[in-house]
């Protein structure tokens, strides 16, 4: 039995030849989908592990701490490395380095994903991420090159377009399939929307109907019921969950936040904290974990009172004392 309540004696879907045993997937998120958090989500039921996005320039130029983004646990397979750039040749060279395991010896991805959805100005305004949606011919060239030269499946995560006047998601989806993409994840917003407004699930359904490769639907999935509704509404192969999973990783175990028992909150939080400390070291590990603690503890009544102390302490023991004070207060969400 899978955490989503289904029995997958057979894969839920395939990415090229790679079977995926589950229909809920943690979205790649810069600053969040690192090894400690990914591994927590995988244990709870996320079916694939996407890295944080990695710039091709950083891959080729030796970006500091790049290996931290590429290391994974054996149980995380299938592992997807997500890359971004606007230059087809640079993307290909970077992808070949990753495929060969040249950056982090002993670590190779199962899948390469090209980010066509990042709305951050520092990425999209230079023509990468969602900026590529304005140049469909470059998307075609990128996928021609990658699928011709890589032995791994190549996938994409897209938005609906640059803005409301240029919602070219169907054109982009067909270009991706025609040029060898093995899966498309669709965030149901445009670049100009960012994370505001309502995700357009009808558009995701149109993409599902337009292509024959698997589609993951993304956007406005906050509850278990939302997961089921998005799949039913769109016919997508799976659901990709981002910001809501940061607040409630137990979604992958099909639990809404109010259903998560106190002991589960405590054990998951401390497991996550310990993985951060082990992986990033005692100082950086705690600093990086504080943003996760912010979301784990937000539904408790004492959190607002103790928030500043919790999110500024640099002492692990003091941090745990403050966590226990918060967890002793009523759940209010």
Task: Centre a 10 Å sphere on the Cβ of residue 58 and count the other Cβ atoms it contains.
Answer: 18
Q: Which residue has the tokens 């054990």?
A: 267
Q: How many angstroms separate the CA atoms of 108 and 18, rounded?
A: 14
Active site residue 118: yes
- Exactly one of 44, 118, 203, 260 is catalytic; name it: 118
CB-side exposure of 47: number of CA atoms within 13 Å?
Answer: 25
Q: Name the packing angle between helices 282-296 and 303-310 (round to 10°).
A: 160
Rounded alpha-carbon distances, angstroms, from residue 193 to 27, 157, 172: 18, 16, 18
Q: How many angstroms separate the CA atoms of 161 and 164, rounded?
A: 7
Q: How many angstroms separate the CA atoms of 44 and 260, rounded?
A: 12
- Positive or negative, the CA dihedral 249, 253, 254, 258 is negative
Q: How many angstroms separate the CA atoms of 265 and 249, rounded?
A: 10
Q: Is 207 left (phi over 0), alpha (psi -120 to 50) or beta?
A: alpha
CA 256 to chain centre: 19
Catalytic residue ranges: 118
């Amino acid at each position: 039995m899978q955490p989503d309540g289904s029995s997958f004696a057979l894969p839920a879907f395939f990415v090229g030849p790679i079977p995926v045993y589950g229909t809920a997937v943690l979205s790649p998120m810069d600053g969040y989908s690192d090894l400690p958090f990914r591994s927590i989500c995988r244990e709870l039921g996320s079916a694939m592990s996407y890295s944080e996005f990695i710039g091709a320039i950083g891959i080729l130029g030796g970006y500091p701490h790049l290996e931290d983004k590429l290391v994974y646990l054996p149980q995380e397979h299938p592992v997807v490395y997500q890359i971004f750039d606007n230059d087809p040749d640079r993307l290909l060279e970077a992808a070949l380095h990753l495929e060969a395991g040249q950056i982090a010896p002993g670590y190779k991805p199962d899948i390469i994903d090209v980010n066509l959805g990042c709305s951050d100005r520092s990425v999209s305004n230079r023509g990468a991420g969602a900026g590529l949606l304005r140049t469909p011919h470059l998307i075609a060239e990128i996928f021609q090159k990658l699928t011709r030269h890589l032995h791994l499946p190549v996938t994409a995560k897209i938005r609906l377009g640059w803005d409301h006047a240029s919602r070219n998601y169907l054109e982009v989806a067909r270009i991706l399939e025609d040029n060898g993409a093995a899966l498309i994840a669709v965030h149901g917003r445009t670049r100009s929307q960012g994370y505001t407004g309502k995700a357009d699930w009808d558009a995701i359904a149109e993409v599902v109907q337009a292509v024959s490769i698997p589609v993951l639907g993304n956007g406005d999935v906050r509850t278990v019921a939302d997961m089921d509704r998005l799949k039913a509404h769109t016919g997508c192969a799976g659901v990709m969950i981002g910001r809501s999973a940061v607040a409630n990783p137990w979604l992958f175990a099909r639990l809404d936040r109010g259903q998560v028992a106190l002991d589960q909150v405590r054990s998951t939080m401390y497991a996550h904290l310990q993985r951060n400390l082990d992986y990033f070291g005692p100082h950086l590990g705690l600093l990086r974990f504080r943003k996760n603690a912010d979301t784990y503890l937000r539904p408790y009544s004492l959190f607002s009172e103790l928030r500043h102390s919790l999110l500024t302490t640099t002492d692990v023991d003091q941090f745990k004392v403050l966590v226990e004070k918060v967890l002793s207060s009523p759940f209010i969400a």
